[in-house]
Structure 1
Amino acid sequence: MNKTPLTVAGAELLRAELHRMKTVERPNVIAAIAEARSHGDLSENAEYDAAKERQGFIEGRIMELEGKLATAQIIDPKLLDADGRCVFGATVDLEDMDAGTTVTYQIVGEDEADIKQGKISISSPIARALIGKYAGDIAEVQAPGGVREYEVVDVRYI
């Protein structure tokens, strides 16, 4: 089975969601099904159908989260010793060679990627271009508008 890389923070978020699904969402939907059942005829009961559909979604999400956590390879960026190389979990400061602007990204797993928080997926084009690079290297990224060049300014493991 393939291991899925996750940062410590990403694994905690998945565990918290799993806990919420099992302790809050699942009991709520069971109560909603019981309530809808008490209304009588199930063949024309929209509340019952909606609650059963919601239950299916919740059970599917619980299974998905348990599967992801079971196959997770949890990586703590603080414990990495990659000698300044861009690797999974690293926080990278980049300078756009064309625009002259700087951005900071952390390379994370697909489930924890959030561009608004500066977290990019390991499978994104920019992360794939950065892997293995050192500070001072130029990364060429195939973007929808053409090739963009970024200089790696700094690599940190935080």
Structure 2
Amino acid sequence: MDRIPITTEGYATLKKELERLKSVDRKEIVLAIEEARSHGDLSENAEYDAAKERQGMIEARIAELESKMGRFQVIDTSSLSGEKIVFGATVVIENVETSEKKKYKIVGPDEANISKGTVSIMSPLARALVNKKAGDDVIVQAPGGDIEYEIIEVHFN
């Protein structure tokens, strides 16, 4: 059984989502199905079909989260420090060609969201950055070709 790295914040967020799915969303969808059933013929009842589909998605997400909860390796990043990039580090990188700067925190795959500035430890970018430090250059293999970045800052927060 493979362990899945996750920050304490990410674990808390997913645990809260699981609790909401079980205690709120599950009950709401049961009521929606009952309401749709009361409208009569189920063979042509779009409300019923939509509610059953939503119920399936909720149950699938619950099953996925319950399966992963036991495999998570929760890492408290608040006590991390140092110069080298590791799981939990926040990095500022600059594209050598375009001078565009970006800031990312390296997190687990289940909490990564590039639009929120988090990137999975398993991504090509994070793999290129791990064990490097400020001032180092890295080449990231991207679908559009290799991209060279300079690491501007490394910090832990």
Q: What's the TM-score once normalised by structure 1's chain length?
A: 0.88
2:153 alignment counterpart: 154
SS in 2 for 1:112: coil
With 45-54 and 113-122 compared, the bigger mean Cα shift is at 45-54
Question: Taking every aligned residue pair, what percent have the same amino acid on both sides?
Answer: 54
Q: What are structure 2's unaligned runs of at least 5 residues?
A: none
Quote the Cα distance in structure 1 between the aligned partners of 2:85 and 2:55.
42
RMSD: 1.7
Q: How does 1:103-114 map to 2 (within 5 A)?
A: 103-114=102-113
User: How many residues of Structure 1 are paired with residues of Structure 2 in the alignment?
Assistant: 157
Deviation of the 1:59 alpha carbon: 0.9
Q: What are structure 1's unaligned runs of at least 5 residues?
A: none
Q: How does 1:3-152 map to 2 (within 5 A)?
A: 3-81=3-81, 83-152=82-151
SS in 2 for 1:110: coil
SS in 1 for 2:18: helix
Deviation of the 1:18 alpha carbon: 1.1
Q: Which amino acid aligns with 1:21?
A: L
Deviation of the 1:51 alpha carbon: 1.9
Q: Which amino acid aligns with 2:80?
A: L
Q: Which amino acid aligns with 1:39?
A: H
Quote the Cα distance in structure 1 between the aligned partners of 2:141 and 2:39.
58
With 41-50 and 21-30 compared, the bigger mean Cα shift is at 41-50
Quote the Cα distance in structure 2 between the aligned partners of 1:102 and 1:43.
55
- Deviating beyond 6 angstroms after TM superposition, the runs of 4 or more aligned structure 1 residues are none
Q: What's the TM-score once normalised by structure 2's chain length?
A: 0.89
Quote the Cα distance in structure 1 between the aligned partners of 2:99 and 2:51.
53
Deviation of the 1:95 alpha carbon: 2.1
Q: Which amino acid aligns with 1:136?
A: G
